[in-house]
Amino acid sequence: MADMQVDILIIGAGPAGLAAAIAAREDGIESILVLEREKEPGGILRQCIHNGFGLHRFEEELTGPEYALRDICRARELDIEIQCGTTVLSVSPDRVVTCVSPETGFRRIQAKAVILAMGCRERPRGALCTPGTRCAGIYSAGTAQRFVNLEGFMPGRRVVILGSGDIGLIMARRMTLQGAKVLACVEIMPYSSGLNRNIVQCLQDYDIPLYLSHTVTDIRGKERLEGVTVSRVDDRRNPVPGTEIDFECDTLLLSCGLIPENELSLGAGVQLSPATSGAIVNDSFETSVPGIFACGNVLHVHDLVDHVSNESFRAGHAAAAFVRSVPGEASFISVEDGDGVRGTVPQKIRRNADANVSLMFRPAAVYRNSTAVVSCGDRVIMKKKAMIYTPGEMAVLELKKEQIQSMEGDSITVRIERS
Amino acid sequence: MEQVITCINCPVGCRMTVHLSDAGEFLSVTGNTCPRGARYARQECTMPERMITAVIPVEGSACPLSVKTATPVPKKMIRDVMAALSSVRVSLPVSAGDVILHDVLGTGSDIIATRNLP
Ligand SMILES: Cc1cc2nc3c(=O)[nH]c(=O)nc-3n(C[C@H](O)[C@H](O)[C@H](O)COP(=O)(O)OP(=O)(O)OC[C@H]3O[C@@H](n4cnc5c(N)ncnc54)[C@H](O)[C@@H]3O)c2cc1C
Ligand code: SF4
């Protein structure tokens, strides 16, 4: 038996959960509850103190905490209940959510709709197979970001960064500005997945060398890290003997990508996509389990929080519509990844979609002057040419609802064509 | 004088060559694909500026205060601004938007809080 009933229960009060809650309340849903395990809402943005957020949504460059604050204030205006310090332990397929908090203890809440907005986490060291000893001084870049920006202490003084994703680049600058020496940023691929802006303003501004096609091949130290060895890699990413460079350092930061946090989703029986590691959803962001929705980084890893908010507004509206009506049997068009395309979301579109649908995907490689093509069998539905498609930037194609309603086949394919 | 820089305004990342006079005045730029690149090249090669964000410790709070410059400041002053920040004393409570330091080092830019600290 449930201790409590709500219309919409949202897990996570990051930008995704907040936007979904705001949209649902604006649609007139009274009974909304947001559960957040941290002591404050805002999600990962609380620790992203650098600027560059919100250019698309607010046409203004905000820092992470400022961006989060706008949604938090709006949620307060709308009197949305956010319970912090509350960790969700499980979600059942019939939408009973189990959670625990110091104040209220253990509770079971029955929801008419659940929105999963748990965000993502960083790939841990184990998943990277870095060699060498297991000493202290090795952190994920996001953990270091949390230490410095939220807890106010520096994890080390001489730093090497493995991986050149944006979080690693941002941390190279932060550690430097807060007084550490960053010796190198090491990237196994021949290109960085970080933004040009971050390469220039986080590395070049501080003369931090970027070693492309290199990786860490040895880690030394007994209790605390004492040094690492970096080697060049060949085309197959195997280290080339004789190219070793030694660095004396007390800290190694790992910035090797993010993975959606889907333990709860799996427990609820939600089907995941191998391409995104997030739920398989339709154009209303509903997962394979009726009434359970997903949005934000738990669905697929975004690079821009503006996209997270947009997607989550749509998910919130969709959950509100679900609570209101008894949906009939829908028929779907499936969305397939074609050449050069990975992880298109949504994976299914309702044939009778009532709004435009954004198809979001990651290009599989760098394509210059190329065209993204959506086709249904032999028929091309839309094309979008761009000067560049790159894995570092999520691509978005907007399908009009009229285009969807007039589709005949059972599936469409998204691909990139080199010109 | 020639300087080669990468445009940071979009993922294309054009490599641009900027021609400067001996006195360092901007003459011309090649390699940009669009006018945004040209504007950036002129700024970056004559008067580069950066927004600075940082955290400063606050007595009586476990969590430091995050701050930013209200407007970009000359790039060569980043270290000086960070040094100026290290001696700032902040008293609680603070709200996002509060001015923490007026006109830091005569740059015309205020240092403002980017979060609330009760
Ligand atoms: C370390 C790091 C740095 C980043 N830096 C940038 C950046 O500089 N710029 C940028 O645009 N994007 C950045 N991102 C991407 C950023 O995560 C997204 O833009 C955005 O914050 C995602 O929003 P979200 O709401 O989906 O997830 P999050 O912001 O991660 O929010 C998820 C929330 O769910 C809560 N939660 C999770 N599980 C539970 C549970 N079981 N019970 C209760 N609550 C739970 C979490 O505590 C968290 O507050 C970064 C991501 C990470 C991980
Ligand atoms: S010059 Fe224009 S196209 Fe080239 S990187 Fe800059 S903004 Fe992009």
Query: What's residue A299's pLDDT?
Result: 97
A160 and A99 in a common domain: no
Ligand 2 atom nearest to B13, measured from its CA: 5
Distance of alpha carbon A10 from alpha carbon A113, whole angstroms: 9
A131 and A251 in a common domain: yes
Q: Nearest Cα to A169, choosing from A130, A138, A132, A141?
A: A141
What residue of A is the nearest CA neighbor of B75?
A205
Of the listed ligands, the closest to the CA of B40 is 2
Delimit the domains of chain B by residue range: 2-47, 53-113
Hey, what are A239's tokens? 């280290």
**What does the pLDDT average to over A186-202?**
91
What three-state secondary structure class fits A179?
A: coil
**What does the pLDDT average to over B69-81?**
95
Q: Give the percent of chain A with pLDDT over 90.
A: 78
Q: What is the DSSP letter of A296?
A: G
A385 and A354 in a common domain: yes
Q: Give Rg (Cα) of chain B.
A: 18
Please check the confidence at residue B108 and state whether its pLDDT lies above 50: yes
**Are B11 and A393 a contacting pair at CB < 8 A?**
yes
**What does the pLDDT average to over A235-249?**
94
Residue with the smallest CA separation from ligand 1 atom 33 is A12
User: DSSP readout, A180-204?
Assistant: -EEEEEE-SSSS-SS-HHHIIIIIG
A151 and A60 in a common domain: no
Total domains in the fold of chain A: 3
Query: What's residue A353's pLDDT?
Result: 85
Please check the confidence at residue A92 and state whether its pLDDT lies above 50: yes
CB-nearest to B33 from A66, A197, A387 is: A387
φ and ψ at residue A98, rounded to 5 degrees? -105, 130
* Averaged pLDDT of chain A: 92
**What does the pLDDT average to over B21-32?**
92
Of the listed ligands, the closest to the CA of B39 is 2
A392 and A376 in a common domain: yes
Q: For residue A29, with 0-12 CB atoms within 10 Å meaning exposed, 13-18 middle and 19 or more buried, which class applies?
A: buried
Q: Which residue has the tokens 């920040």?
A: B85
pLDDT digits (tens, 9 = 90+) for A318-361: 999 999 886 666 788 999 999 999 999 999 998 888 889 999 99
B7 lines ligand 2 (CB under 6 A): yes
Mutate which: B51, B115, B116, B117, vs A, most A CBs within 10 A: B115
**Are A178 and B11 a contacting pair at CB < 8 A?**
no
Query: What's residue A407's pLDDT?
Result: 85
Distance of alpha carbon B70 from alpha carbon B60, whole angstroms: 25
Distance of alpha carbon B91 from alpha carbon B118, whole angstroms: 10
What ranges make up the beta strands (E) of A297-394? 332-337, 341-345, 348-350, 357-363, 367-376, 379-389
Q: Which residue has the tokens 């991986």?
A: A163
Domain B53-113 has CATH 3.90.480.20: no
Query: What's residue A129's pLDDT?
Result: 57
Helices A64-77 and A15-26 pack at an angle, to 10 degrees, of 30
pLDDT digits (tens, 9 = 90+) for A23-82: 999 999 999 999 999 999 999 999 999 999 998 899 899 999 999 999 999 999 999 999
| Residues ≥6 apart with Cβ < 8 Å to A402 | none
pLDDT band at A193 (very low <50, low <70, confident <90, very high): confident
Q: Which of B4, B5, B6, B7 to mutate to test the pocket of ligand 2 (most atoms within 8 A of CB)?
A: B7
Residue B101 identity: L
Single residue among A312, A328, A344 that ends a domain in this structure: A328
Query: What's residue B9's pLDDT?
Result: 87
Q: What is the CATH number of the domain that holds A349?
A: 2.60.40
A128 and A250 in a common domain: yes
To the nearest whole angstrom, how far is the Cα of B73 from the nearest Cα of chain A? 13
Residue A287 and residue A294 in contact, taking contact as beta carbons nearer than 8 Å: yes
Between the CA of residue A172 and those of A100, A125, A349, B20, B60, what are the distances in Å?
37, 18, 41, 31, 28
Q: Which of A10, A84, A100, A118 to mutate to test the pocket of ligand 1 (most atoms within 8 A of CB)?
A: A118
Query: What's residue A409's pLDDT?
Result: 86
Distance of alpha carbon A67 from alpha carbon A53, whole angstroms: 7
φ and ψ at residue A261, rounded to 5 degrees? -95, 90
Please check the confidence at residue A127 and state whether its pLDDT lies above 50: no
B41 lines ligand 2 (CB under 6 A): no
A278 and A400 in a common domain: no
Q: Which residue has the tokens 């830091």?
A: B104
Distance of alpha carbon A328 from alpha carbon A232, whole angstroms: 58
Please check the confidence at residue A128 and state whether its pLDDT lies above 70: no
pLDDT digits (tens, 9 = 90+) for A271-305: 999 999 999 999 999 999 999 999 999 999 998 89
**What does the pLDDT average to over A189-211?**
92
Q: Is A291 left (phi over 0), alpha (psi -120 to 50) or beta?
A: left
Domain span holding position A360: 331-419
CB contact A39 to B (< 8 Å) = no
Write down the ipTM of this complex: 0.92
